[in-house]
Amino acid sequence: MKKLLKYLKLISVEPFIHDSADGEKILAEAKDLFEYIDSGFRDWGADEKGPATKETPVCVYEMAKDATFSQMFSLLSSDKSKLCLTQAQIIEFVKKYRNWLQADDYATFFLFESNGQFFVADAVACSHGALGVSVSRFKDSHVWSAENRRRLVVPQLAV
């Protein structure tokens, strides 16, 4: 638990509830929500539809120390698949809880699986009011700065 507190701080007081989703929506096609959508979703095969899901409680964490995706997410569970949301759930979270996205052009991270690989969706609430979404490979070794208090959204059951 001390390691978790070193890198991540839980900022959601109550768990958020994702409504059930049919799994049909994917981020690469969410043009009604996002002004910018990274072409990497299609280029890297990160555009697979997901399974239908039931209501899912999720928690929001904020980075407290610089870390890679692997460092951030592995603190919550050694089983990455337990930390994943479907793309439909990510879309619903952004629609329903937009105010919980990190503001001012800084990312809120969501782990998801597509075509047997793990990816991180980076949802951004831009300073001019629009939303954007990018994709990164989970295995990316980039160290993200905690200075900007980037956020992570994961299923509550994962912790």
pLDDT of 48 over the 80 cut: yes
Cα–Cα distance between 125 and 94 in angstroms, integer?
10
Distances (CA, A) of 132 to 34, 70, 91, 103, 146: 5, 23, 11, 12, 20
- The percent of residues above 90 in pLDDT, for the chain, comes to 66
> Which has the closest alpha carbon to 42: 138, 126, 140, 115?
115
pTM above 0.85, yes or no: yes
Task: Give pLDDT, residue 32.
Answer: 95
Under DSSP, the state recorded for 21 is B
Taking residues 23-28, report their average pLDDT: 92
Cα–Cα distance between 115 and 4 in angstroms, integer?
29
The mean predicted confidence, pLDDT, of the chain is 89
Give the DSSP per-residue string, 42-84: HHTT-------B--EEEEEEEE-S-B-HHHHHHTT-S-GGGG-
Residue in the block written with tokens 């991180």: 120
Confidence grade of residue 158 (pLDDT, cut at 50, 70, 90): low
Task: Give pLDDT, residue 132.
Answer: 94
What are the pLDDT digits (tens) for 66-122? 999 999 998 888 899 999 999 999 999 999 999 899 877 789 999 999 999 999 999
The secondary element (H helix, E strand) that includes residue 2 is helix 2-7
> Which has the closest alpha carbon to 112: 155, 72, 62?
155
